[in-house]
Amino acid sequence: MSFHRPALAVIGASAFFYVAAEALPIGLLPQISADLHVSEARVGLLMTSYAVVAALSTIPLTAVTMRIPRNRLLAVTVAIFAVSQAAATFAPTFPILAGSRLLCALAHGVFWSVLGPIVARLAPPDQVGRATALTSLGNSLAIVLGVPLGTALGQWLGWRVAIGSMAVGGAVCVALLLVVLPALPPLPRDVTAGAGRQLRNAVRILRDGRVARLCAVTAVLVVGHFAAYTYIAPLVRRDAGLDGAGLSALLLGYGVAGLLTTYLVGRHIDRRPGPLMLILLAAQAVSVALLAPVLGLGPTIVATLVWGAAFTAIPPVLGAVPLRVAPHARDAASAVYVVAFQIGIGSGAFVGERFVTAGGLGWLPAFAGLLAAAAGVLVVASRTVFPVRISAEEHHRVSAAAATH
């Protein structure tokens, strides 16, 4: 079995637009705030409301869509994304903008839940992690290009143009998905199981200790990260006086650093996930915590770049875990992992808003560093989830288990 590179590339492009659009308000806080006459802290809550809806809807919507061919379902989720971004582009008020994002959030969880299992069906058994990293380059490029270029475009032509570009990109991806994705019918177990049973399976999968530990690591890390990252614009403005073009350049550097590390870790995800996670978490904890005091221009740039390099490479490592530890229920395990990630985003953005409203912006990096360190402790205590080494025989055993369930 060989890589379906065109299909993986288009899936990665779809992920690019999903990630870029979800995070774009972070770079456009001042523009949206001024245009719609709301505070920056309230605009930051767009991240929270989006994540809450995605977290609540992921498991039930994944369950009720199990019998839909996977290629069609992926295209539908991206089509909903494109429509929601078009609605956001013309939103006359903040509540309508928030509502259009909530429409997108309904499709978001299903998109990310089915993405991992689809990638696993498009790659050889011992290269699923590598294929996951390949599609995750879309995530990294969203941070490298999507957010900074969208921020720059929004500062130049207005935030509506920036969001409108996401709608156009999503529409193009829908057309390409319909062309390049091979037929991916539901697996036999998905056809025979009803939505109620699938929903129970998705909830029951949390009884698997390895899946529960993965979700714990994910939620702890992501809460801290998004508490600080949601407010990176005011944070670097405080620390280094960066705004406008300077902020866009720093976000670009953040993403480039993440792109490089994502590429580098791709070859190790399938072999040494445990040590890889610990290295990335250590770099995350130290770099983000260094931003707690006002450092000045140079140290702020360096710390932010290391932060980007570390965190951007972590989701590919985490995303490969459900496929490995729950081969008998990959969709269900991926769904609860997505829920954990969205809980982390929403909770983190909410905590960040509370800090900012209370005048505690400078405490956010210390909080993020502390939770990254806590996630590292959980990884050390979860060696069956993040093993030191995985053999080729283990990969084939997992593949065989997936094929027989």
Of the candidates 289, 285, 286, 300, the one whose C-alpha atom is nearest the C-alpha of residue 250 is 300
Instruction: Decide if 70 contacts 114 (C-beta within 8 A).
Output: yes
Residue entry with tokens 């056809």: 191
Q: Of the given ranges (176-180, 184-188, 254-258), which has the lowest mean pLDDT?
A: 184-188
Asked if pLDDT for residue 398 goes beyond 60, the answer is: no
SS3 35: helix
Whole-structure pTM value? 0.72
Show the domains of the chain with their CATH numbers: 5-404 (1.20.1250.20)
Average pLDDT over residues 104-116: 85
- The H-or-E segment that residue 402 falls in is helix 392-404
- pLDDT-derived band at 1 (thresholds 50, 70, 90) equals very low
Q: What does the pLDDT look like over 367-377, one tens digit per residue?
A: 999 999 999 99
Q: Of the given ranges (124-128, 132-136, 218-222, 391-395), which has the lowest mean pLDDT?
A: 391-395
Mean pLDDT of the chain: 81
pLDDT > 70: percent of the chain = 84
Residue 4: the pLDDT is 74
Identify the top-confidence range among 61-70, 94-103, 163-172: 163-172
Tokens (6 digits) for 274: 């445990």
Q: How far is CA 82 from the centre of its chain?
A: 18
Asked if pLDDT for residue 360 goes beyond 70, the answer is: yes
Average pLDDT over residues 139-152: 76
Biggest alpha carbon distance in the chain? 60
Q: What does the pLDDT look like over 189-235, one tens digit per residue?
A: 554 455 556 556 666 666 777 888 999 999 999 999 999 988 887 88
What is the rounded CA–CA span in Å between residue 301 and residue 298?
5
Q: What does the pLDDT look like over 5-56, one tens digit per residue?
A: 788 888 989 989 988 888 788 778 788 888 888 887 777 777 778 888 887 8
- pLDDT-derived band at 254 (thresholds 50, 70, 90) equals confident
Amino acid at 374: A
The alpha carbon torsion through 208, 214, 216, 222 (nearest 10 deg) reads: -150
Residue 395: the pLDDT is 46
Instruction: Decide if 227 contacts 352 (C-beta within 8 A).
Output: yes
DSSP for 66-80 reads: TTS-HHHHHHHHHHH
User: Number of helices (H) and strands (E), helices first, in the chain?
Assistant: 19, 0
Identify the top-confidence range among 290-299, 326-335, 371-380: 371-380
Q: Of the given ranges (1-5, 52-56, 73-77), which has the lowest mean pLDDT?
A: 1-5
Residue 201: the pLDDT is 62
- pLDDT-derived band at 354 (thresholds 50, 70, 90) equals confident
Residue 245: the pLDDT is 72
Secondary structure string (H, E, C) spanning 241-268: CCCCHHHHHHHHHHHHHHHHHHHHHCCC
Residue 249: the pLDDT is 80
Residue 218: the pLDDT is 93
Residue 155: the pLDDT is 82
Q: Of the given ranges (115-119, 140-144, 211-215), which has the lowest mean pLDDT?
A: 140-144
For the beta carbon of residue 156, count every other beta carbon within 10 angstroms. 12
Tokens (6 digits) for 233: 């614009």
Asked if pLDDT for residue 402 goes beyond 60, the answer is: no
